[in-house]
C-alpha cells in the first residue's frame, strides 16, 4: 500500500483562458498517479509580483493527497505546466500556468531543486489568503500560522472572485463488472 502525503499546491494563470486553464489543471492533478484533490480554495485575482508588465493572475490553492514523492510531484507539475503551454522564458514573466508546491507533508528541506516549504509562500497573500480559506489552521512549516502571516501582509493586490469557481474533479464510479451468463439453453448462441 502506498503512503499518501498531504500537499498544498498553489496554481495560477495570467494568459489565455485563465479560469479554464486552472480548471483543467485541477482535473489534470486529479489524474496523477495515486493523487486526489481534496479541497480547492476560492479563486483570487491578483496583481503580478515582479517581472515585466503583464496581465493580472487568477490564483487558487489546492490541498491534495498523493503517493508521489516530492521530486516526482515536482516533475509532474512541470509536465502539466508544459502541457498547458507554459514557456519558461523569463523569471516572474507571464505564464499560461504556474504550479507551485507550497508544502509537502509539512517537510522542511533546503534542497535547491525543491525547497520546502516554498521559499516565498509566507510573503505572498495570493497563496496565504486562499490557503486560509480552505484550512484556517494551516501553518507554513518553520514560518508560523497562515492566519498570522496573512495578517502581517494584508490583502493588498488580491481580490476574491466569487463569480469564478473551480470544481473538484469528477470521480467516476468503478466500472460495473457483470457476472458471466449462466450455462444453459438461454446462454447458447443461435
When divided into structural domains, the chain yields a total of 1
Instruction: Give the catalytic positions in this structure.
Output: 86, 95, 98, 100
The per-residue pLDDT string of the chain (190 residues; one tens digit each, 9 = 90 and over) reads: 678 999 999 999 999 999 999 999 999 999 999 999 999 999 999 988 877 888 999 999 999 999 999 999 999 999 999 998 887 777 766 888 999 999 999 999 988 889 888 889 999 999 999 999 999 999 999 999 999 999 998 777 899 999 999 999 876 555 566 666 665 554 444 4
Q: What is the CATH number of the domain that holds 179?
A: 3.30.70.560
| Residue-number span of the structural domain to which 21 is assigned | 5-187
Q: Own/partner pairs for 101-104, CB < 8 Å, 24+ apart?
A: 101/7, 101/8, 101/9, 101/70, 101/73, 101/74, 101/77, 102/8, 102/9, 102/10, 102/61, 102/127, 102/131, 102/140, 103/6, 103/7, 103/8, 103/140, 103/141, 104/5, 104/7, 104/70, 104/73
pLDDT one-digit tens code per residue, 115-166: 888 889 999 999 999 999 999 999 999 999 999 999 998 777 899 999 999 9
Helix (H, G, I), strand (E, B) or coil at 67: coil
Amino acid at each position: 500500500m502506498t503512503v499518501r502525503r498531504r500537499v498544498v499546491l498553489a496554481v495560477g494563470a495570467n494568459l489565455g483562458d485563465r479560469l479554464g486553464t486552472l480548471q483543467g489543471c485541477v482535473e489534470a492533478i486529479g489524474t496523477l498517479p495515486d493523487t486526489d484533490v481534496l479541497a480547492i480554495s476560492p479563486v483570487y485575482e491578483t496583481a503580478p509580483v515582479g517581472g515585466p508588465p503583464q496581465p493580472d493572475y487568477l490564483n487558487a490553492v489546492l490541498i491534495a493527497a498523493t503517493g508521489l514523492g516530492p521530486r516526482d510531484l515536482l516533475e509532474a507539475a512541470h509536465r502539466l505546466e508544459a502541457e498547458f503551454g507554459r514557456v519558461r522564458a523569463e523569471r516572474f514573466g507571464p505564464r499560461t500556468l504556474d504550479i507551485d508546491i507550497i508544502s509537502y507533508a509539512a517537510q522542511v528541506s533546503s534542497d535547491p531543486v525543491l525547497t520546502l516549504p516554498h521559499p516565498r509562500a509566507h510573503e505572498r497573500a495570493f497563496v496565504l489568503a486562499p490557503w486560509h480559506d480552505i484550512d484556517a489552521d494551516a501553518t507554513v512549516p518553520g514560518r508560523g500560522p497562515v492566519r498570522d502571516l496573512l495578517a502581517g501582509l494584508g490583502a493588498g493586490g488580491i481580490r476574491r472572485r466569487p463569480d469564478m469557481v473551480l470544481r473538484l474533479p469528477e470521480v467516476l464510479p468503478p466500472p460495473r463488472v457483470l457476472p458471466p451468463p449462466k450455462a444453459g439453453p438461454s446462454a447458447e448462441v443461435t
